[in-house]
């Protein structure tokens, strides 16, 4: 199994199950939310397997059982008849391809799905992926979530995690708290750069929405699911008002998203 190529549907089984669809996910994970909303929008019943990550209590994503399902240790992982689909932007496209229901789909939708995705390590490609921007702006929330988690769990987390960049970063959050974001620190500079790029992404989206109810036009699409979770995360980290200021179309769009049944559930 080549970890570097774990994207989209794979040609091997990782689990024998009586369920057609199984989702390994985490309630807090932005990418997990995206896939859950997609399954909800398309009325697909699935077996839910919640996986704790270090931010939400413990690193269940690094135990042997889960690493057999996804050796990169990330959530979500979607299984269809036991075959894994990796990366949330690929998962939602696959779900739609297998669904009897239909969401709007065109080149515009595809381009905004890509633009809203989190791809690779989140410390680069801010100009391409708004999801990477959001990932870099979320750590202050992580610091709050990690306060009550015992320190010993972080050393096990570091030893077992396939991405030493990510695991080392979370140990820093635990040990040094908010001081890692002090002015001119590496994380401060990264966050500043991601914020500048996110402003461009959201300004472009606001402009695009001037003549559209949804990103693809009059019909809801996978692109709207992608941006729903981004805007919701911005609200969670109390930055939505900052980024939506003077963006009338974006504010109306987010209000429309919050009225959807899939958002409420």
Mean pLDDT split into 10-residue runs, the chain, 265 residues? 74 95 97 97 97 94 95 96 97 94 87 94 93 95 93 91 87 93 93 98 98 94 98 98 98 98 90
Tell me the pTM.
0.92
Q: What is the DSSP letter of 245?
A: T
Q: Quickly count: other Cβ atoms within 10 Å of residue 203's Cβ.
A: 14
The reply to whether 81 and 184 lie within a common domain is: no
The reply to whether 192 and 221 lie within a common domain is: yes
Residues in the chain, total: 265
Q: How many domains does the chain have?
A: 2
Residue 11's domain comprises: 3-97
Walk across the sheet containing 8-9 and list its strands: 8-9, 83-86, 77-80, 21-25, 47-50
The reply to whether 160 and 242 lie within a common domain is: yes
Q: What is the DSSP letter of 116?
A: T
Query: What is the distance between the alpha carbons of residues 226 and 221, in angstroms, rounded to a whole number?
Result: 9
Select from 225, 18, 8 the least CA-distant residue to 101: 225
The confidence score (pLDDT) of residue 3 equals 57
The confidence score (pLDDT) of residue 123 equals 87
The reply to whether 48 and 139 lie within a common domain is: no
DSSP 193-212: HHHHHHHHHHHHHHHHGGG-
Whichever domain contains 156, its CATH number is: 1.20.1050.10
Residues with Cβ within 8 Å of residue 249, at least 6 apart in sequence:
206, 207, 209, 210
Q: Which of 55, 76, 97 is the last residue of a domain?
A: 97
The reply to whether 221 and 91 lie within a common domain is: no
Query: What is the distance between the alpha carbons of residues 178 and 196, in angstroms, rounded to a whole number?
Result: 21
Residues 181 and 211: beta-carbon distance below 8 Å: no
Task: Convert the pLDDT of each residue in 10-53 to its tens digit.
Answer: 999 999 999 999 999 999 999 999 999 999 999 999 999 999 99
- Cis status, amide bond into 13, omega within 30 of 0: no
The confidence score (pLDDT) of residue 20 equals 98
- For the chain, first and last CA: distance in Å? 36
Strand, coil or helix: 263: helix
In a domain, 167, yes or no: yes
Whichever domain contains 68, its CATH number is: 3.40.30.10
Q: Which of 97, 115, 143 is the last residue of a domain?
A: 97
Residues 253 and 210: beta-carbon distance below 8 Å: no
In a domain, 102, yes or no: no
92 exposure class (CB count in 10 Å sphere: 0-12, 13-18, 19+): buried
- Cis status, amide bond into 28, omega within 30 of 0: no
The confidence score (pLDDT) of residue 165 equals 80
The reply to whether 91 and 118 lie within a common domain is: no
């Amino acid at each position: 199994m080549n970890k570097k190529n774990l994207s989209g549907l794979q040609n091997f089984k990782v689990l024998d199950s009586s369920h057609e669809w199984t989702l390994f996910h985490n309630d807090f994970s932005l990418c997990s939310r995206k896939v859950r909303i997609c399954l909800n929008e398309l009325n697909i019943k699935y077996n839910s397997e919640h996986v704790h990550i270090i931010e939400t209590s413990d690193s269940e994503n690094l135990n042997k059982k889960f690493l057999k399902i996804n050796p990169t240790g990330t959530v979500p992982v979607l299984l269809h008849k036991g075959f894994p689909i990796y990366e949330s932007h690929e998962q939602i496209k696959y779900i739609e391809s297998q669904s009897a229901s239909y969401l709007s789909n065109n080149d515009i939708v595809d381009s905004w799905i890509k633009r809203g995705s989190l791809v690779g390590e989140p410390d680069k490609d801010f100009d391409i992926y708004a999801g990477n921007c959001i990932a870099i702006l979320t750590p202050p929330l992580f610091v709050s979530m990690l306060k009550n988690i015992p320190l010993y769990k972080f050393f096990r987390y570091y030893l077992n995690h396939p991405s030493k960049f990510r695991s080392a970063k979370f140990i820093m959050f635990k040990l040094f708290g908010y001081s890692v974001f002090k002015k001119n620190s590496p994380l401060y500079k990264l966050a500043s750069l991601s914020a500048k790029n996110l402003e461009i992404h959201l300004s472009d989206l606001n402009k695009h929405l001037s003549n559209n109810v949804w990103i693809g036009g009059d019909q809801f699409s996978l692109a709207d699911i992608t941006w729903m979770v981004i805007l919701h995360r911005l609200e969670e980290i109390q930055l939505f008002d900052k980024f939506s200021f003077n963006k009338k179309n974006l504010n109306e769009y987010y209000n429309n998203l919050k009225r959807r049944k899939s958002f409420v559930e």
